[in-house]
Chains A and B, each alone.
Chain A
Amino acid sequence: MIARILAATFLISLASWTAARPVLAAQISVSGAGLAAAETLDSEQLAGLPAVEIATATPWTGKASFSGPYLTDVLALLKAEGNKVSLIARDDYKVELSLTDILRYRPIIATSMNGKPIPPRERGPFWLMFPFDDHPELQNDAWFFRAIWQIDRIRVEP
């Protein structure tokens, strides 16, 4: 069913709105358990972590290849420890993930799609991505809605 929708989905090229624009310095602020104060992660720090590639279909992109560090690596980098992680987007959209799910499905913070950085106007620059194709149980709205884009803040809960 998803496949049919994806096949039917027509993505317009938005090159006209994305080209020739200086990308704003993007950051993610991380706070919560195990952290004395809020920390800031920028694109460079994320790029410094080992990049993982996930090739999967999504309702918004069809089949695409995403790449970025594991969320677990990001948390480890900041020595954040907790049982729950909240991610909040620039438009205040918010999702909660349990550590169990994070460890089981290993989502990444995708910073590029099909080898290109993701512009903010196209759900960039930081997009939480799950390997949907590897786990049939993830192929439903409950999980698609957890693939939060335009990540702005991360809060680690005890």
Chain B
Amino acid sequence: MTRGLRAALAGLGLAVVVSFSIVGALQYALSNKTIGVLAGGTDNQAWAFFQLGTEHHRLHVALLEASAGLSDAAAAERRYEVFVSRLNIVRGGTYRQMFTGRAFYDGTIGEIGRFVDETDALVASRGGFDGVVVAELLVRLPLLRGPIQAMMLGINSVSAGEAAQRWTEITAMQRLATAATVIQAVLCAGFAGLAGWYILQSSRSRRELLQLTGTLNQAKQDAEAASRAKSEFLANISHEIRTPLNGVMGLLGLLVDSRLPPEPQGHARSALRSAENLLTIVNDILDLSKLEAGRIEVEAVDFLLTQPAEDVVSILHPKAMESGNELSYTIDPDARISLRGDVGRIRQILFNLVGNAVKFTRQGRIGIRFTTRPDGAGALLLVVEVEDTGIGIPPEFLGRLFERFSQADGSTTRRYGGTGLGLAICRQLCLLQGGDISVRSEVGKGSTFSFTVRCQPGPDIVEAPLPEPAPEAVDHGPLRILVVDDVEVNRTLMNSLLTRRGHAVRLATNGAEAVTEVVGSGLRLDLVLMDIQMPVMDGCSATEAIRSLPPPLGTIPVIAVTAHAMAGDRERYLAAGMNDYVSKPVRPAELFSAMERVMSRLPGLPSQAPAPAAPDDLAETPLLDQSMLDQLRDCLDMEDLTDMLGLFPGQARIQADEIEAAIAGGDAAAVKRAAHGMKGANANLGAQRLSAIARAIELNAADPEEAARLLQLARQQIEPTRQALEEQFAAAAHG
């Protein structure tokens, strides 16, 4: 609503009020006037004077009748009294007020008054109203006719005048009232018009606003769709980039491993490092764009707060030591240790922040602090603070820190490396988990990053009641068990669980210690419970190392105890030579049934291991992975392809020889290692069938006969593969 319109409306309103006031005042004046008229006419004037005249006549008639003997003097006296009462009325209050000062009234009233006074005096002197009085009055009464007549005429003219004046006044008032009414009508019409116009205006602007809102909504949706499409594209493209990049890295790996002269060897190493950096960047982009495209689902697994803390600290500790930093974590005594949430993502955020802190701190301290607090909605908020005494961040960069490709300044990348995506990924991960991330920093003093994620409380850490052993279960009696875990809480928990069951327990804090324990134990161990993520040597490597020991040490049953219970992980553990696995947090019943399974199977092959593919299956596997080859052709030029083709058969044969030597040496671990290498190299080349056979060898490394049979099959594939590759590349060259 414009100011002008508002002023106009206000003015009109004021005018309407004023005109109403005028009309109100007029009405008041009119009604007062009317009251005045009524007051004048309370006792009808004309009637009162007319009655006086009439009584004058009647008195005259009564006097005549009395003198003629037709009636008595008393009747005449009664008429006289009435005549006097009429006089009294006419010269009483209202009339007197109205007409005093007018000649006709004052004269006549005075005359009649004198007549009455004289008559009363006469009556008094005669001692009554007798014939003498009647005769006297007959003489004097007619003398009043003239004055009474004059008074009647005067009153009449006054009435007429007053009526005329009243008429004039009322007419004027009517005119005024009419004019005011007209003005009012005009003002009201104007007011109504303005109001209508305003209503139209506002409805029009409302329509426009609605349209605008619609347009904006559409634009917002379009923008969001575009952003999603961009993220989708980025996610897809980075995923696509990774595959050929893996190929490049595989080939570079082959080059680095081959016997090249020093200079090209150096180039190959540099190229491999560049490729690794490139892969890191692509992985970051993939993570971020997946997050932004909403392709990432939050997982919910039970975990202990110590797990991510220990993992991150143990991995980054060596790096921190290199630059002279202390790295430690504390868990608030009131914090809840057992949680349910996406521990993998929490670990990723923590790893990123602590990695940064280590990178930007020299000769200082890096502290991690964990606390939990209720979020008010039945869940918990895990609050993690990562504090360092590093170089700090200038205030002008703090705002942009969590945006993509943002680093404190351009030279940071050159000095410290990194893609500038880490913190953006962290922020997205926090948001995804219902939390957020923030930072406080002072240049030269250090920085404190603090992030929150929403978790559910995990199961209470109490000892579960011991399950009744199943009746058909074989009782293996007390076992001698090695528990391998880097987290003290976990070790303690397992220890108490097992010792209560009567088992003897030994403890190790990492894979290397575990291998040492197994080696040093002689035959005094029946079972190993192996954590996967550990510093120094992880569970898979330790198991592989144990499996490479001569029997019977190498055949000791190993059960993986891990929080990594993703699809594919199981295969990985079994491939590493583990017999079974239980997931963290450890539920006693699960642990004991896994132990039961493993001990009952002994001595036998782990039935959980995927059966190696039958030769027929392997023979039917496509010789080449067409999509891999397409990607290779896209990434590499003809020369590279030709080089690779040249290298392939020799390389494949060398790998086959290595496997053969290992089988001959009875070295299962060496067989596994060599087969693993063969598997990777051929996968990178797109030699799908060879790669599959190599994988089968890797899985059957402990079975020399089967390995030898498979190796034979592999050797038969080398030449057909080479030919097929040549056809492919020749086609590329000429197509």
Contact = CB atoms under 8 A, between A and B. Distances in A.
Interface of A: 1, 4-5, 8-12, 14, 17, 20-21, 24, 59-60, 90-91, 93, 120-123, 141, 144, 150
B125 interface: no
A120 B93 contact: no
A120 B87 CA distance: 12
Contacts of A120: 81-82, 84-85
25 contacts: A1-B38, A4-B35, A5-B42, A9-B93, A10-B93, A12-B92, A17-B88, A21-B120, A24-B74, A24-B78, A24-B81, A59-B42, A59-B43, A60-B43, A60-B92, A90-B82, A91-B58, A91-B82, A120-B82, A121-B81, A122-B85, A122-B88, A123-B89, A141-B41, A144-B42
Contact of A121 (B38, B77, B88, B93): B88
Interface in B437-483: none
A17 B120 contact: yes
B2 interface: no
Contacts of A150: 82, 85
Nearest to A61: B93
Nearest to B91: A12
Contacts of B55: 91
Nearest to B87: A121
Q: Which of A1, A24, A59, A123 has the most CB atoms of chain B within a 10 A radius of its CB? A: A1
A154 to B, nearest CB: 17
A91 B80 CA distance: 11
A150 B77 CA distance: 15
Given A17-B116, A141-B38, A144-B42, A9 B84 contact: no
Contacts of A1: 35, 38-39
A12 B100 CA distance: 14
Interface of B: 35, 38-39, 41-43, 51, 54-55, 58, 74, 77-78, 81-82, 84-86, 88-89, 91-94, 96-97, 116, 120, 124
Contacts, number: 63
Given A9-B93, A12-B91, 5 more contacts: A1-B35, A1-B39, A14-B88, A60-B92, A123-B89
Contacts of A21: 120
A13 to B, nearest CB: 11
A116 to B, nearest CB: 16
A121 B92 CA distance: 12
A9 B97 CA distance: 8
A150 B97 CA distance: 25
A9 B94 contact: yes
A91 B54 contact: yes
B84 A121 contact: yes
B35 A17 contact: no
B93 A11 contact: yes
Contact of A8 (B43, B82, B97, B120): B97
B85 A123 contact: yes
Given A1-B39, A9-B94, A121 B85 contact: yes
Contacts of B120: 17, 21
B614 to A, nearest CB: 119
B92 A11 contact: yes
Contacts of A24: 74, 77-78, 81
A144 B43 CA distance: 9
Contacts of B96: 10, 12
A133 B730 CA distance: 130
Contacts of B74: 24
A59 B38 CA distance: 11
Contacts of A123: 85, 89
Contacts of A91: 51, 54-55, 58, 82, 86
Contacts of B116: 17
A21 B82 CA distance: 15
A90 B82 CA distance: 7
Contacts of A90: 78, 82
B78 A10 contact: no
A108 to B, nearest CB: 20
A123 B86 CA distance: 9
Counting from the closest, the 3 A-B pairs by CB-CB distance are: A9-B93, A120-B81, A5-B39
A141 B41 CA distance: 9
Nearest to A93: B51
A8 B538 CA distance: 121
